[in-house]
Chain A
Amino acid sequence: MNKEYDVIIVGSGITGGWAAKEFCERGFNTLVLERGRNVEHRGPEYKDFQAPWELQNRGMPDEELADNGHYATLRKKGHLYKTDALHFFVDDKKHPYSFPKDKPFMWTRGYQLGGRSLTWGRQALRWSPMDFQANAKDGHGIPWPISYDDLAPWYSYVEKFIGVSANKDGLETLPDGEFQTPWEMSYAEQYISNNIAKRYTDRHLIIGRAANLTSPSQEQTALGRSKCQARSYCRRGCTFGAYFSSQSATLPAAQKTGNLTVVTDAIVERVDYDESSKKALGVTVIDTNTKERRQYKSRVVFMCASSLGTVQVLLNSKSETFPTGIANASGMLGRYILGHVTGVVASADVPGGEDKFAFGRRPIATYIPNYRHEKRADADFVRGFGFQTTAQHRSSTRPTAKEKGIGIIAKQNVGQPGPWRFRAFMYGEVLPYYDNVATLHPSKKDEWGMPLLHIDAEIKENERKMIKQAAKDIEEMLEAGGCTNIEVAATPQSKHIPMGKQVHEMGGACMGSDPNTSVLNGWGQAHDVPNLFVTDGACMASCATQNPSLTYMAITARAADYASKLLQRNII
């Protein structure tokens, strides 16, 4: 097989797929290296046509897995630990990582072609100008070298391709984009939304912005994608190609050009560095099955192995010039590990609507965007939080398996329509902390000989204060929303909250203008190694409150365009 390419892309998930499409469409001979197995679009691993009674073991994973310590992280997450899509998540017994005993970190991964693009929640939100200004403004972390305006055209570019169904809400805190028909709110969501709008000018309950097609474009149809059928079985893979994944969209687009080579079962162990040219030479991979090592060369290397996956490879890429990992002259590699924090869960009844019902399974929640960017008189913290929310169906009485009651009466009580109940989950911004850091474990290695990633990260005082405020705010908003029976549960201040739980881990190779304090410039290009780019979440200098993948996509497409121009001009 050819071992020399124009571009090597490490990882085939959301960002790797985008990099592949962009380079292939610009005519570059492109190699995607993926550590996981091949997953065929619409192949046997997609379980989206299984009814609940057809799922393996009725959805319950084999008990022996838990007894033998498999899937520890996923089991803690609960709702993802089901047989419908378990095969798309990593078993951390097979792929261990490490953390201090008192700071458990939850790292939810997907090692297969398509990465977590197969299982993501598809909430596709732009960041606002304020989000990119935050670090510079309050002095936490490294100031972003790019602004919203730099990314805006790229947001539009990726939105048009992936297909985002959303409403144009006209909010400064959550800029609008190129949208397809939005999903509709339920009776209850609309009720609260209207009431909130009466009370506040800065707080809004909006329909989520979903990377699920509602009015497919010609380009999307040509890729074999069609309209979302509201099954909400997305994480099983979608035979309709209705949600955006590498399999449904970017990889087939790249494949069409004839410039794409994909090699699966290939763990990138390190980026190889050439001391004489001071450039990346290519990468060394370990064959997952044979454990043999081999090298691939390229003019450019794009790291898209997911934030922490990329940090692991970079730290492991040691050379004479970079004894602590490639592109780490600043010593910043692995620092500023970021993520979102949930410390408040609220629920409430929505009055009325006894004669209202919902049908179908909408593939997206509703959302209250962050309204606390600017420090307020009542806030003793910086940055802010938003809420992922939902009341898409009316509640109905559940079987009483967990309480007393059997027989005819218990049965009659099942499935009776109950009140509309609204739920809200806080998503707060964890500040960039220098000492939230990922390193390589000094002695432990995985079965392929890769040093384990050791993640030492925690939330601090600012986030704890945010949680207190979020609990107050949501109670007030639900009251203003006209709700009753409001219940707000805030995580006690003394209880540990693991980082990583919200699956939006970021940072570790952050962008910045100063090579002394950051790893990458505003193009995601390593300050120290001009043909090495990082465009997954590792490049993020802060984490805002929005789900981040749309921003990664925009950053990746923009960086690929920039790198293509440098390649064309033989600058790299």
Chain B
Amino acid sequence: MEINRRIFLGAMLYVVSASVLPSELKKVLKLNVFKSDAAFFNADQMTLVYDLANIMIPTTNTPGASDSHTAQVLDELMVSWASSSTQRQFTNFLAQFQSKAKGANNSNYFSLTKKEREAFVEYVDGNAFEKDRNEFSTAYKRIKALIFHIHYSSEEANPNFFLVPGGYKGNLTESELSAIHKRKYL
């Protein structure tokens, strides 16, 4: 294979978001703002991707996209996996997303409250799967699929994953299964 790329194996030091907002505003917005550019996305784009991922898969009683560092992994994949057309598609999408958010809310996406941002992403999600078949919703669906793939293939989302199960049992009760999960081997 002649293609030479930076290789991404999944293990990395995650760029941690740092808030540059005054603390009052921070409470209302609940927005993690990246202050420096990442591997592919610039700081603004990272802030948006991180926010989108968290709205799609929030932290509840189980880990969410921020716990699985989904945005940071996506950023790495943009360098190691994405073709130039995907790179273009995603950066265009992020720009369009910002301007659509502004059009719909009369305000910059980053200035919206958490609730408003969630409502807007939900609106985009609904349209993408129900009505629109355009470049914007196609790109949205791709980003969503990637965010889900990254999160649900992460260590955080798979606490009962066994690299070496030790055997197979096909007829267990729930308590037998939990006992196996607890002792971490068949």
Q: Which positions in A face B, CB cutoff 8 Å?
A: 49, 51-60, 62-68, 70, 91, 94, 183-187, 189-190, 229-231, 355-362, 392, 399-408, 410-412, 414
Contact = CB atoms under 8 A, between A and B. Distances in A.
A65 B145 CA distance: 20
A408 B165 contact: no
Contact of B145 (A70, A190, A402): A402
Contacts of A91: 1
B24 to A, nearest CB: 26
Given A63-B82, A404-B128, 16 more contacts: A49-B163, A53-B154, A56-B7, A56-B80, A57-B8, A186-B170, A186-B171, A187-B170, A190-B170, A229-B165, A230-B168, A231-B165, A355-B174, A357-B174, A360-B168, A404-B129
B97 interface: no
Contact of A357 (B86, B121, B165, B177): B177
A358 B60 contact: no
Contacts of B151: 399
Contact of A67 (B5, B83, B129): B83
B169 A358 contact: yes
Contact of A406 (B56, B86, B152, B168): B56
B170 A53 contact: no
A110 B18 CA distance: 48
B149 interface: yes
Given A51-B155, A56-B8, A404-B129, A184 B168 contact: yes
Given A63-B81, A401-B149, A411-B60, A58 B168 contact: no
Contacts of A360: 162, 165-169, 186
B122 interface: yes
B38 interface: no
Given A231-B164, A360-B169, A65 B3 contact: yes
* A interface majority secondary structure: loop
B57 A355 contact: no
Nearest to B155: A53
B11 A54 contact: yes
B71 to A, nearest CB: 14
Contacts of A405: 125
A183 B168 contact: yes
Contacts of B85: 67
23 contacts: A51-B163, A54-B10, A57-B8, A58-B153, A63-B83, A63-B86, A65-B1, A91-B1, A184-B168, A184-B171, A190-B171, A229-B167, A230-B165, A230-B166, A357-B172, A358-B169, A359-B168, A359-B177, A361-B168, A392-B170, A399-B148, A401-B149, A404-B130
Contacts of B169: 184, 358-360
B171 A356 contact: yes
A362 B170 contact: yes
Contacts, number: 156
Interface of B: 1, 3, 5, 7-11, 55-58, 60, 62, 64, 73, 77, 80-83, 85-86, 118, 121-122, 125-126, 128-130, 141, 144-145, 147-155, 158, 161-174, 176-177, 180, 186
Nearest to B125: A406
A360 to B, nearest CB: 4
A134 to B, nearest CB: 35
Contacts of B125: 404-406
Given A357-B172, A360-B168, A62 B60 contact: no
B129 A407 contact: no
Contacts of A64: 3, 5, 83
Contacts of B155: 51, 53
A361 B174 contact: no
Contacts of B126: 404
Contacts of B148: 399-401
A189 B81 contact: no
Contact of A401 (B60, B144, B170): B144
B10 A229 contact: no
B9 to A, nearest CB: 6
A58 B171 contact: no
Contacts of B153: 52-53, 58-59
B122 A56 contact: no
B2 to A, nearest CB: 9
- Name, among B125, B169, B170, the residue most crowded by chain A CB atoms within 10 Å (CB to CB): B170
A352 B130 CA distance: 35
B170 A358 contact: yes
Contacts of B8: 56-57
Nearest to A356: B171
A56 B166 contact: no
Contacts of A400: 148
Contact of A358 (B3, B5, B166, B168): B168
Nearest to B65: A411
Nearest to B77: A57
A411 B10 contact: no
Contacts of A183: 168
Contacts of B168: 183-184, 230, 358-362, 392
A407 B55 CA distance: 6
A322 to B, nearest CB: 37
Contacts of B83: 63-64, 66-67
Counting from the closest, the 9 A-B pairs by CB-CB distance are A186-B170, A360-B168, A401-B148, A63-B83, A360-B165, A404-B129, A362-B168, A57-B81, A406-B56
